[in-house]
Amino acid sequence: MINLTKEYLKNSYGISDNVIDLYEQAIDDVNEEFSKYDEIREYNQLKVLNALQEERISDAHFTNSSGYGYGDIGRDSLDKVYARIFNCESALVRPHFVNGTHALGAGLFGNLRPGDTMMSVCGTPYDTLHNVIGISDKKNIGSLKEYGVNYKQVDLTSEGKINYDKIKTELEDDKSIKLIHIQRSTGYGWRKSLLVSQIKEIIDFVKGIKPEVICFVDNCYGEFLDTKEPTDVGADLVAGSLIKNIGGGIAPTGGYLAGKEECVTQAAYRLTVPGIGGECGSTFGVMRLLYQGLFFAPHVAIEAVKGALFCARIMELAGFEVLPKYTDKRSDIIQAIKFNDKEKLINFCKGIQLGSPIDSFVQCEPWEMPGYSDQVIMAAGAFVQGASIELSADAPIREPYIAYLQGGLTFDHAKIGILIALSKVI
Ligand SMILES: *Cc1c(COP(=O)(O)O)cnc(C)c1O
């Protein structure tokens, strides 16, 4: 870091010499790790470029549609571009998905029927899915459970591994298991994200026992962190949010599903209605942003992962427990930091807010967020509201007080934000 930057940070943000020293050591340590991610980024940029070229995307795809939105070529071609990138039959990319949960919910509701069982194989799914499934401690109105869809989960072993023995027993004993749910990212857990190679292992195992089971992957935060996506290794369906990795920080809203034609169609029938599916839906003039965001996404996802790596190292140097460590191979952009202290957790999040380009003057506070059972604090001074591909930190207010940091459209910004946040806790 040049002296000019140091002086600026000290004078404008009150960053101490101690924090600057930690910074310099952390940067030295992480630099070596970065080259691995640069190679992935390079490959994925090529993959995206080629998909756009193969689908002959032109200015005409950016035009608006209205009303029913029949024959919106921008919308229909983006589905094809995604299907190429995910190396699968079909995709459904829509600004009409209000978030990732909505896309995941459409995938689940679309592909499950009364009497079927959904089984999660990596423990409790992401918080917002609890209401969808019907395992929230609230009323679960409109949930899969209310429609007669059963739910089971196989927890990770005490060492945090997939419990293959239990999965096998369940699949053999329970004929009603129609879909297995795999969550790539950690969510609000204290575990490592699942590598695509590990997802492959799970899918191969499950299909080896019961080939017709739908393998559904919650791909949130995982896109473009590997040269392969879950659909490259046998996933029948994946879903995610456009205000995370794959929107490249440009997409203003939306979600996607990709996978087998049959599974995607079922999901499309839940986004709209049977018979209409993905063939209707005007696009409000946002298609260019979805294309452009996709184009940036391989780059932005790696900027974010670099921020996470840096965060892991500097927080570790500062004496906090982190997961994953900076040398661990990553499959999502999340960095978990354990504070064991409510105040520190809240101050860290407030520091991230203070380092944001938007709403930096706002004090974030814990609140009862829809879809979450504990109070949640969210630092998100983002250009796109709540976009967690932008630098953000959030945490359910519960022991052992873990903050989840993610995003950063540029690594340089992530570094600054993390320095400010660290200053607030030491
Ligand atoms: C973000 C996320 C979701 C969906 O969250 P939304 O806020 O609805 O987009 C689901 N699963 C995981 C693992 C996530 O990280």
Please identify, by atom number, the ligand 1 atom nearest to the C-alpha of residue 334. 15
Give the pLDDT confidence score for residue 139 in this predicted structure: 80
How many other CB atoms sit within 10 Å of the CB of residue 327? Answer: 12
C-alpha radius of gyration, the chain, whole number: 21
Q: How far is the CA of 126 from the centre of ligand 1 (A)?
A: 7
Q: What amino acid is encoded at 237 in this protein?
A: L
Together in a domain, 214 and 134: yes
Q: How far is the CA of 245 from the centre of ligand 1 (A)?
A: 11
Give the pLDDT confidence score for residue 117 in this predicted structure: 98
> Could you give the C-alpha distances from 5 to 2, 130, 349, 426, in angstroms and in order?
6, 45, 23, 21
Q: How far is the CA of 275 from the centre of ligand 1 (A)?
A: 28
Encode pLDDT of 310-360 as tens digits. Answer: 999 999 999 999 999 999 999 999 999 999 999 999 999 999 999 999 999
Cα 177 from chain centroid (whole Å) = 26
Together in a domain, 271 and 339: no
Please state the pTM of the whole predicted model: 0.97
Give the phi and the psi of residue 236 in degrees, each rounded to 5.
Answer: -80, -30
- With the most atoms of ligand 1 within 8 angstroms of its CB, the residue from 218, 245, 333, 392 to mutate is 218
Q: How far is the CA of 125 from the centre of ligand 1 (A)?
A: 10
What's the angle, vertex CA 390, arms to CA 329 and CA 199, rounded to 5?
A: 35
Q: How far is the CA of 184 from the centre of ligand 1 (A)?
A: 11
The closest alpha carbon to 40, from 151, 172, 195, 184, belongs to 195
Together in a domain, 345 and 395: yes
Together in a domain, 111 and 192: yes
Q: How far is the CA of 332 from the centre of ligand 1 (A)?
A: 12
Together in a domain, 95 and 239: yes
Together in a domain, 57 and 199: yes
Q: How far is the CA of 349 from the centre of ligand 1 (A)?
A: 19
Q: Contact 357/416 with Cβ under 8 angstroms?
A: no
Residues 6+ apart with CB under 8 A from 355: 13, 381, 391, 413, 416, 417, 418, 419, 420, 421
Q: Give the pocket of ligand 1 (CB within 6 Å).
A: 99-101, 104, 126, 128, 183, 185, 187, 218, 220-221, 241
What's the angle, vertex CA 193, arms to CA 30 and CA 368, rounded to 5?
A: 105
Give the pLDDT confidence score for residue 370 in this predicted structure: 79
Q: Which residues of the chain have pLDDT under 50?
A: none
Together in a domain, 84 and 169: yes
Together in a domain, 126 and 15: no
What CATH number does the domain containing 345 carry? 3.90.1150.60
Number of domains in the chain: 2
Per DSSP, the three-state class of 377 is strand
Among all chains, which residue has been given the structure tokens 């320095």? Answer: 419
Q: What amino acid is encoded at 376 in this protein?
A: V
Encode pLDDT of 212-263 as tens digits. Answer: 999 999 999 999 999 999 999 999 999 999 999 999 999 999 999 999 999 9
Together in a domain, 186 and 53: yes
Of 254, 275, 293, which one is at a domain's C-terminal end? 293
Of 241, 270, 293, which one is at a domain's C-terminal end? 293
Rounded to whole angstroms, how far apart are CA atoms 139 and 142? 9
What CATH number does the domain containing 52 carry? 3.40.640.10
Secondary structure (DSSP) of 179-237? EEEEE-S--SSSSPPPPHHHHHHHHHHHHHH-TTSEEEEE-TTTTTSSSS-GGGGT-SE
Of 261, 293, 325, which one is at a domain's C-terminal end? 293
Please identify, by atom number, the ligand 1 atom nearest to the C-alpha of residue 243. 9
Q: Contact 7/1 with Cβ under 8 angstroms?
A: no
Question: Which residues span the domain enclosing 173?
Answer: 47-293
Please identify, by atom number, the ligand 1 atom nearest to the C-alpha of residue 371. 8
Q: Contact 239/107 with Cβ under 8 angstroms?
A: yes
Together in a domain, 288 and 316: no
Which residues are paired to 179 by β-bridges? Answer: 118, 214
Q: How far is the CA of 188 from the centre of ligand 1 (A)?
A: 10
Give the pLDDT confidence score for residue 232 in this predicted structure: 98
Cα 422 from chain centroid (whole Å) = 24
Give the pLDDT confidence score for residue 131 in this predicted structure: 94
Give the pLDDT confidence score for residue 138 in this predicted structure: 78
Give the pLDDT confidence score for residue 401 in this predicted structure: 97
Give the pLDDT confidence score for residue 145 in this predicted structure: 97
Please identify, by atom number, the ligand 1 atom nearest to the C-alpha of residue 98. 8
Residue identifier of the C-alpha nearest atom 9 of ligand 1: 100
Together in a domain, 283 and 323: no
- With the most atoms of ligand 1 within 8 angstroms of its CB, the residue from 104, 128, 238, 394 to mutate is 128
Give the pLDDT confidence score for residue 137 in this predicted structure: 80
Please identify, by atom number, the ligand 1 atom nearest to the C-alpha of residue 386. 7
Q: How far is the CA of 311 from the centre of ligand 1 (A)?
A: 21
How many other CB atoms sit within 10 Å of the CB of residue 123? Answer: 16
Per DSSP, the three-state class of 378 is strand
Please identify, by atom number, the ligand 1 atom nearest to the C-alpha of residue 186. 13
Together in a domain, 119 and 219: yes
Q: What amino acid is encoded at 216 in this protein?
A: F
